[in-house]
Protein backbone atom coordinates (compact mmCIF):
# COMPACT_ATOMS: atom_id res chain seq x y z
CA UNK A 1 0.00 0.00 0.00
CA UNK A 2 1.32 3.43 -0.96
CA UNK A 3 0.73 5.93 1.83
CA UNK A 4 2.23 8.87 -0.08
CA UNK A 5 0.51 12.12 -0.97
CA UNK A 6 1.13 13.59 -4.42
CA UNK A 7 0.93 17.07 -5.89
CA UNK A 8 2.43 19.11 -8.70
CA UNK A 9 4.43 22.21 -7.83
CA UNK A 10 6.61 24.90 -9.38
CA UNK A 11 10.26 25.16 -8.30
CA UNK A 12 10.74 28.48 -6.54
CA UNK A 13 13.86 30.45 -5.66
CA UNK A 14 13.96 31.40 -1.99
CA UNK A 15 14.20 35.03 -1.00
CA UNK A 16 16.54 34.44 1.93
CA UNK A 17 20.13 33.38 2.54
CA UNK A 18 19.34 30.09 4.28
CA UNK A 19 18.37 28.06 1.24
CA UNK A 20 18.27 28.28 -2.52
CA UNK A 21 15.37 26.45 -4.18
CA UNK A 22 12.25 24.73 -2.95
CA UNK A 23 8.86 23.34 -3.85
CA UNK A 24 5.96 24.80 -1.87
CA UNK A 25 3.87 22.10 -0.17
CA UNK A 26 0.10 22.62 -0.34
CA UNK A 27 -1.30 23.52 3.08
CA UNK A 28 -3.62 20.51 3.28
CA UNK A 29 -0.76 18.09 2.55
CA UNK A 30 1.64 19.80 4.98
CA UNK A 31 -1.01 19.80 7.72
CA UNK A 32 -1.70 16.08 7.13
CA UNK A 33 1.92 15.28 7.99
CA UNK A 34 2.19 17.81 10.81
CA UNK A 35 -1.02 16.53 12.44
CA UNK A 36 0.74 13.16 12.64
CA UNK A 37 3.79 14.94 14.17
CA UNK A 38 5.79 14.12 11.03
CA UNK A 39 8.13 16.90 9.93
CA UNK A 40 10.54 14.46 8.29
CA UNK A 41 9.39 13.04 4.96
CA UNK A 42 10.64 10.97 2.04
CA UNK A 43 10.22 12.95 -1.18
CA UNK A 44 10.13 11.55 -4.71
CA UNK A 45 10.34 13.96 -7.62
CA UNK A 46 9.00 13.02 -11.05
CA UNK A 47 9.05 9.36 -9.97
CA UNK A 48 12.84 9.39 -10.55
CA UNK A 49 14.70 10.78 -7.53
CA UNK A 50 13.91 9.93 -3.90
CA UNK A 51 15.48 11.64 -0.89
CA UNK A 52 14.85 12.22 2.80
CA UNK A 53 14.08 15.79 3.86
CA UNK A 54 12.03 17.93 6.19
CA UNK A 55 8.97 20.10 5.86
CA UNK A 56 10.52 23.55 6.20
CA UNK A 57 8.37 26.44 7.48
CA UNK A 58 8.31 29.36 5.03
CA UNK A 59 6.35 31.65 7.33
CA UNK A 60 2.65 32.46 7.51
CA UNK A 61 1.92 28.76 8.14
CA UNK A 62 3.28 27.68 4.74
CA UNK A 63 5.80 24.85 4.25
CA UNK A 64 8.22 23.80 1.53
CA UNK A 65 10.63 21.05 0.49
CA UNK A 66 14.23 22.10 -0.22
CA UNK A 67 15.85 20.80 -3.42
CA UNK A 68 19.63 20.78 -3.69
CA UNK A 69 21.69 21.53 -6.79
CA UNK A 70 22.57 17.90 -7.47
CA UNK A 71 18.90 16.87 -7.63
CA UNK A 72 17.94 19.95 -9.66
CA UNK A 73 20.66 19.17 -12.20
CA UNK A 74 19.79 15.47 -12.28
CA UNK A 75 16.17 16.30 -13.17
CA UNK A 76 16.92 19.42 -15.24
CA UNK A 77 14.90 21.65 -12.90
CA UNK A 78 15.13 25.42 -13.08
CA UNK A 79 13.06 28.10 -11.29
CA UNK A 80 9.52 27.84 -12.62
CA UNK A 81 9.90 24.16 -13.63
CA UNK A 82 7.05 21.93 -12.55
CA UNK A 83 7.54 18.57 -10.92
CA UNK A 84 5.35 15.78 -9.65
CA UNK A 85 6.06 15.59 -5.93
CA UNK A 86 5.26 12.56 -3.80
CA UNK A 87 5.68 12.71 -0.02
CA UNK A 88 5.41 10.03 2.62
CA UNK A 89 6.27 10.01 6.30
CA UNK A 90 9.91 9.21 7.04
CA UNK A 91 9.84 6.39 9.57
CA UNK A 92 13.62 5.93 9.62
CA UNK A 93 15.45 6.20 12.92
CA UNK A 94 17.53 9.27 12.05
CA UNK A 95 15.97 10.92 8.99
CA UNK A 96 19.08 10.11 6.94
CA UNK A 97 20.85 6.81 6.29
CA UNK A 98 23.36 5.67 8.94
CA UNK A 99 26.68 5.10 7.12
CA UNK A 100 28.04 1.61 7.84
CA UNK A 101 31.38 3.08 8.82
CA UNK A 102 29.90 5.33 11.49
CA UNK A 103 27.67 2.54 12.79
CA UNK A 104 30.75 0.34 13.24
CA UNK A 105 32.76 3.05 15.02
CA UNK A 106 29.82 3.74 17.36
CA UNK A 107 29.39 0.01 18.03
CA UNK A 108 33.03 -0.18 19.13
CA UNK A 109 33.06 2.99 21.25
CA UNK A 110 30.51 3.02 24.07
CA UNK A 111 31.29 6.57 25.22
CA UNK A 112 31.19 7.92 21.67
CA UNK A 113 27.92 6.10 21.01
CA UNK A 114 26.34 7.55 24.14
CA UNK A 115 27.47 11.10 23.26
CA UNK A 116 26.33 10.73 19.64
CA UNK A 117 22.86 9.56 20.63
CA UNK A 118 22.52 12.36 23.21
CA UNK A 119 22.68 14.95 20.41
CA UNK A 120 19.58 16.59 18.96
CA UNK A 121 18.09 14.89 15.88
CA UNK A 122 19.23 17.79 13.68
CA UNK A 123 22.84 17.54 14.89
CA UNK A 124 22.77 13.78 14.39
CA UNK A 125 21.58 14.28 10.79
CA UNK A 126 24.36 16.83 10.21
CA UNK A 127 26.99 14.32 11.37
CA UNK A 128 25.40 11.54 9.29
CA UNK A 129 25.63 13.81 6.27
CA UNK A 130 29.28 14.71 6.99
CA UNK A 131 30.22 11.02 7.02
CA UNK A 132 27.83 9.74 4.38
CA UNK A 133 28.16 12.24 1.56
CA UNK A 134 31.71 11.23 0.60
CA UNK A 135 32.09 8.28 -1.78
CA UNK A 136 35.46 6.98 -0.56
CA UNK A 137 35.15 4.29 2.13
CA UNK A 138 38.46 5.23 3.78
CA UNK A 139 37.34 8.86 3.99
CA UNK A 140 34.03 7.80 5.60
CA UNK A 141 35.95 5.73 8.18
CA UNK A 142 38.28 8.65 8.92
CA UNK A 143 35.36 11.04 9.28
CA UNK A 144 33.53 8.64 11.59
CA UNK A 145 36.58 8.35 13.88
CA UNK A 146 37.15 12.13 13.79
CA UNK A 147 33.54 12.85 14.75
CA UNK A 148 33.51 10.40 17.64
CA UNK A 149 36.82 11.71 18.95
CA UNK A 150 35.53 15.26 18.60
CA UNK A 151 32.44 14.43 20.67
CA UNK A 152 34.58 12.82 23.37
CA UNK A 153 37.10 15.67 23.42
CA UNK A 154 34.38 18.33 23.63
CA UNK A 155 32.13 16.58 26.17
CA UNK A 156 29.41 15.80 23.64
CA UNK A 157 29.31 19.30 22.18
CA UNK A 158 30.02 20.09 18.54
CA UNK A 159 32.29 22.96 17.61
CA UNK A 160 31.80 22.88 13.85
CA UNK A 161 34.78 25.16 13.15
CA UNK A 162 37.13 22.87 15.09
CA UNK A 163 35.51 19.73 13.65
CA UNK A 164 35.93 21.10 10.14
CA UNK A 165 39.60 21.84 10.84
CA UNK A 166 40.06 18.29 12.21
CA UNK A 167 38.46 16.83 9.10
CA UNK A 168 40.71 18.95 6.84
CA UNK A 169 43.87 18.05 8.79
CA UNK A 170 43.23 14.39 8.22
CA UNK A 171 42.45 15.03 4.53
CA UNK A 172 39.10 13.36 5.10
pLDDT digits (tens, 9 = 90+) for 20-44: 899 999 999 999 999 988 899 999 9
pLDDT band at 88 (very low <50, low <70, confident <90, very high): very high
pTM of the model as a whole: 0.80
28: left (phi over 0), alpha (psi -120 to 50) or beta: alpha
- Locate all alpha helices (DSSP H) within the chain, ordered by sequence: 27-35, 69-75, 100-108, 110-117, 121-132, 137-153, 160-169
> Per-domain residue ranges for the chain?
5-89, 100-169
pLDDT of residue 18: 66
Q: What does the pLDDT average to over 156-160?
A: 92
- Locate all alpha helices (DSSP H) within 36-120, ordered by sequence: 69-75, 100-108, 110-117
Contact 128, 102 (CB under 8 A): yes
Beta-carbon count within 10 A of 2 CB: 7
Rounded to the nearest integer, the mean pLDDT of the chain is 91
State how far the Cα of 124 lies from the Cα of 96, in Å rounded to an integer: 9
How does pLDDT run across 104-121, given as a tens digit for each residue?
999 999 999 999 999 999
pLDDT of residue 41: 95
State how far the Cα of 147 lies from the Cα of 138, in Å rounded to an integer: 14
- Counted residue by residue, the chain has a size of 172
Question: Per CATH, which fold does 5-89 belong to?
Answer: Elongation Factor Tu (Ef-tu); domain 3 (2.40.30)
**Kindly report the CA angle at 48 between 42 and 52, in degrees rounded to 5?**
20
How does pLDDT run across 48-85, given as a tens digit for each residue?
999 999 999 988 889 999 999 999 999 999 999 999 99
pLDDT of residue 167: 85
How does pLDDT run across 128-148, given as a tens digit for each residue?
999 998 889 999 999 999 999
Q: What does the pLDDT average to over 101-105?
A: 96
Amino acid sequence: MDDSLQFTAFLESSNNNLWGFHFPVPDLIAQTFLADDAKRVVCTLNEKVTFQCGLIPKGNGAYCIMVNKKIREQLGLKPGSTARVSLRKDDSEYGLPMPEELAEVLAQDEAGNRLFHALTPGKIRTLLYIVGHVKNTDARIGRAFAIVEHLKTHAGKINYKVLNEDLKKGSI
